[in-house]
Amino acid sequence: MSQNSFFRIVDAAANRTSEGLRVAEDVMRMHLNDRHLAKQLKQLRHDLTETLSALPAANSIAARDSVGDVGRNIEAKQEYERSNASETESQNDSGFEPILTANFKRAQQALRTLEEFSKTESEHAAKAIEQIRYRSYTLEKACSLALRSSKNFNATSIYVLIDGCQWSEVCAANQNEIAAERWQKTQLAQTVRALIDAKVDLIQLRDKTLSDRKLIATGKVIAELTRGTDTSFIMNDRADIAIACGADGVHVGQEELSVADARRILGPNKWIGVSTHSLEQAQAAVLDGADYIGVGPVFASQTKSFSEHKGTELVQQICEEVSLPAFAIGGIDLNNAEQIAAAGCNRVAVTAVFSNAPQEQYSEIASQLRAKLGT
């Protein structure tokens, strides 16, 4: 193999890889302000540079022939097309997705070239470049989901968690199962309608006491009521039941189903949320492919006990590091919602602030929450 040709190929492929990754990094850094993904992309570029350092850089530059490269005159129509989005759409995330995709593909194709040609010189370098290529696939997925979630959750701020018995002891006390189910369905429907009328953004059904059949039946009621509205329905923990009842997605904890397993069950178009209790868990959720995260518990809660509360420090830390939509959760009400906003987060997941109030006050509560969150 001609040494000059070898170094020309390596030089061109290395430049294409770095350029493609840099464009993706700029989108994450300057559009989404996502420090975590920007750092991951920067690290990938640096790791490639280090891997290729075994090859004399002077040889690559000396072999470069930009003027005589026949590829300069080979053009494809698609090369200068990035989006058919309208002018309005091009100003938001819709205009960034085709740019992001095109540049990841450019980088990955160049990485494949580097991998193949480095095999003739160094098995170690070839294996290292292969791993960089696979890491680029993970980052492409994470960056794409970050853009999509930024768009999907752009206007969301209020996420309400409910249970099948509607915060009452009536279900537990009622010995007539049929009557209890009828009461539950009636009260459930009334509460869900009131939340929809209050324009809350998401409703999650979280109930560990119901049998699978009752959970599905309850979920179907919520799915039917929220369908066609601006309120989405999320099932807690159970991806299989989310599918069975027609939910818009599932929310899992650190000990429940993994994001990857939930995605296998739900497919690509349903939402997957993850509870996170540390910056490391939030960063992992981004790379795992979550659509949004819950952050907390922030304060002491009336509905769930925790051994420790993270406070607003963790909320601020995560919101400064990742762009994935984050909902602060744990004891949040009208008295402390402004603290969440001050920490840089304008999304909350709540229960008691609604469950302790009459349904006719839901709209006013939601309005006050949004005002305190600045949304």
Instruction: Tell me the C-alpha distance between 337 and 323, whole Å.
Output: 20
pLDDT, one tens digit per residue, over 191-200 is 999 999 999 9
Cβ neighbours of residue 102 closer than 8 Å, sequence gap 6 or more: 82
pLDDT of 63 strictly over 70 = no
Contact residues for 129 (Cβ-Cβ < 8 A; gap 6+): 48, 51, 111, 114, 115, 118
Q: What is the pLDDT of residues 26-47, one digit of tens each?
A: 999 999 999 999 999 999 999 9
Instruction: Give the DSSP letter of residue 306.
Output: -
pLDDT band at 73 (very low <50, low <70, confident <90, very high): low
Beta strands 158-162 and 326-329: pairing type?
Answer: unpaired
Question: What are the start-end ranges of the H helices in 3-154?
Answer: 3-26, 35-52, 57-63, 87-90, 93-118, 123-152
What is the DSSP annotation of 214-263?
A: HHHHHHHHHHHHHTTSS-EEEEES-HHHHHHHT-SEEEE-SSS--HHHHH
C-alpha to C-alpha distance for 297 and 301, rounded to whole angstroms: 8
Chain-centre distance for alpha carbon 45: 23
pLDDT at 131 over 90: yes
- Architecture of the domain made up of 158-373: Alpha-Beta Barrel (3.20)
**Rounded distance, CA 249 to CA 257, Å?**
13
Per domain, the residue ranges of the chain are 3-152, 158-373
State whether residue 351 is helix, strand or coil. coil
CA–CA distance, 344 with 111 (Å, rounded to integer)? 38
Percentages helix, strand, coil for the chain (3-state, rounded to 5) are 60, 10, 30
Confidence of residue 90 (pLDDT cuts 50, 70, 90): very low
The pLDDT score that the predictor gives to residue 186 is 79
Distance of CA 134 to the CA centre of its chain: 20
d(CA 184, CA 200): 21
CATH topology of domain 3-152: Ferritin (1.20.1260)
Tens-digit pLDDT profile for residues 302-351: 666 565 777 999 999 999 999 999 999 999 999 999 999 999 999 999 99
Report DSSP state, residue 27.
I
Burial 158-174 (b: 16+ CB within 10 A, else e): bbbbbbbbbbeeebeeb
Amino acid 53: pLDDT: 85
